Amino acid sequence: MTTADPRTALAAALPDSELVTDPDVLASLSADDAEWAPAGRPLAALRATSTAEVAAAVAACADLGVAVVPRGAGTGLSGGANATDGCLVLDMSRMNRVLEIDEENLIAVVQPGVVNNDLKAAVAERGLWYPPDPASAPWSTIGGNVATNAGGLCCLKYGVTRDYVLGLQAVVGGPAGAYGTVVRLGRRTTKGVSGYDLAGLFVGSEGTLGVVTEITLRLRPALRDAPHTVVGAFDDLVTAGEAVALCTRRGLRPAALELLDRACLEAVEEWKHLGIGPEANALLLARLDAPGQAGLDEAEAVAAAFTDSGARWAERSTDATEAEALFEARRLAYPALERLGPVLTEDVCVPLSAVPEMLARTEEIGARHGVRIATIAHAGDGNLHPLLITAPGDDTARRAAQAAFEELLVAAVALGGTVTGEHGVGLLKRGGMRGELGPEVCAMQDALKLTLDPLGLFNPGKVTGDPR
């Protein structure tokens, strides 16, 4: 089907849907939070309200040759939700219902627009817990978390999004049938090896294989005891990294082990006035949630590991309010630094033994390029988030930050790591991904994309590029 006016044709094909065409609104829906990631001008946007509406939109777009770019809350940091020229932006944020909470089988069924923290609150009322907790949990949606296989603070002990996705409903095309076909992948049971793990394949695919419209999630019983928090202060990032490595060697497994440098703490305190005085150049925050005496013993062991690694001091917090403020500072670090100027966010992940070396290389790369880098990290699992800060409107600083960004990707891979632990490849890390995976594996990815999406309709140009 061809037309001189694809927008009119799209509206005619979707008579029961309200398309967004206002230029200012479209601009607000055309990009995520990734700094300097290119974004195109979409044809229109659709704020979907049902699987049937998504299916109709995908079918119409296939007929018209219009690409489909799904998005959730737009909190991504790699450009994975950025529009392409002439696409339909499929805004999933209004599909935000918790459809089922099955207490007996520890399952929740949700639409993709459910905000992470809203799901946590809903299941907590039933004495249950959904562990994946990215720092963006107050704003990011489950659909976006699935798209990037988000992790967060608790993934060190409790795993990432993929570990909790049992099944999906998705709108697909390709070998499943005509574009707009609705399929169910995965299952509700804990075990199941009937066929390939297609649900797992969709987790982390960044919307490039189809549009997820429903997610079946595994839950856990809520923790009964209040967690313990251990804080360690260090003179430099490398020493803090050595403390992380020592915790691992000693077999310690906190629920969370987070790192913040002085720049992060100062930015948060200036913004939110939480009463946290940065007394060192780096802080490690450990959260221990083993019950009873085991939790106390674990907290003391972590404090000892911090001290033995060279911490200026290490203490177990007995003040729940103070402990929560410290973890709140960790969650607020990125938006606090964003207030200072454009922030290019890294997401490299290295083996735990390589954390000290990666922190050292981060400092060296920043100094050599003259780029200010503030560092936060899920240090316990090697997932580091160097934040490259530039002055607004300074093109020279922007180019220096982009060059440093690419060097950090190379350094992580050289240390046996990956270019992205949880933010996704999107647009910013395609080159780094190719360097990490090599041509043979990239060819496999391209072939998979071509098989499941032969028209290149779903989020083209992301992750694999466009294999057509």
Predicted confidence at residue 323, as pLDDT, reads: 78
Average pLDDT, integer, range 415-421? 98
Residue 317 confidence (pLDDT) above 90: no
Residue 95 confidence (pLDDT) above 50: yes
Average pLDDT, integer, range 220-242? 93
Predicted confidence at residue 273, as pLDDT, reads: 83
Average pLDDT, integer, range 393-399? 95
Name the band, by pLDDT with cuts 50, 70 and 90, for residue 274. Answer: confident
Predicted confidence at residue 252, as pLDDT, reads: 94
Predicted confidence at residue 280, as pLDDT, reads: 85
Average pLDDT, integer, range 331-341? 90
When mean pLDDT is compared across 270-284, 363-377, 427-441, 452-466, the lowest value belongs to 270-284
- In CATH, the number for domain 228-414 is 3.40.462.10
Predicted confidence at residue 321, as pLDDT, reads: 79
Predicted confidence at residue 468, as pLDDT, reads: 40
Residue 173 confidence (pLDDT) above 80: yes
Predicted confidence at residue 360, as pLDDT, reads: 96
Q: Which residue reads 């390939």 in tokens?
A: 196
Q: What is the pLDDT of residues 184-195, one digit of tens each?
A: 999 999 999 999
Percent of the chain surpassing pLDDT 90: 86
Percent of the chain surpassing pLDDT 70: 98
Residue 418 confidence (pLDDT) above 70: yes
When mean pLDDT is compared across 261-265, 272-276, 439-443, the lowest value belongs to 272-276
Long-range contacts at 428-431 (CB < 8 A, ≥ 24 apart): 428/34, 428/37, 428/78, 428/79, 429/78, 429/347, 430/463, 430/465, 431/406
Residue 235 confidence (pLDDT) above 60: yes
Residue 279 confidence (pLDDT) above 90: no
Mean of per-residue pLDDT scores for the chain = 94
Q: What is the pLDDT of residues 13-61, one digit of tens each?
A: 999 999 999 999 999 999 999 999 999 999 999 999 999 999 999 999 9
Name the band, by pLDDT with cuts 50, 70 and 90, for residue 278. Answer: low
- pTM assigned to the model: 0.94
- In CATH, the number for domain 98-221 is 3.30.465.10
Average pLDDT, integer, range 212-241? 94
Residue 7 confidence (pLDDT) above 50: yes
Residue 1 confidence (pLDDT) above 60: no
Predicted confidence at residue 465, as pLDDT, reads: 56
Predicted confidence at residue 85, as pLDDT, reads: 97
Residue 466 confidence (pLDDT) above 60: no
Name the band, by pLDDT with cuts 50, 70 and 90, for residue 327. Answer: confident
Predicted confidence at residue 467, as pLDDT, reads: 40
Delimit the domains of the chain by residue range: 6-93, 98-221, 228-414
Predicted confidence at residue 453, as pLDDT, reads: 96
Predicted confidence at residue 4, as pLDDT, reads: 62
Fold topology of 6-93 = 3.30.43
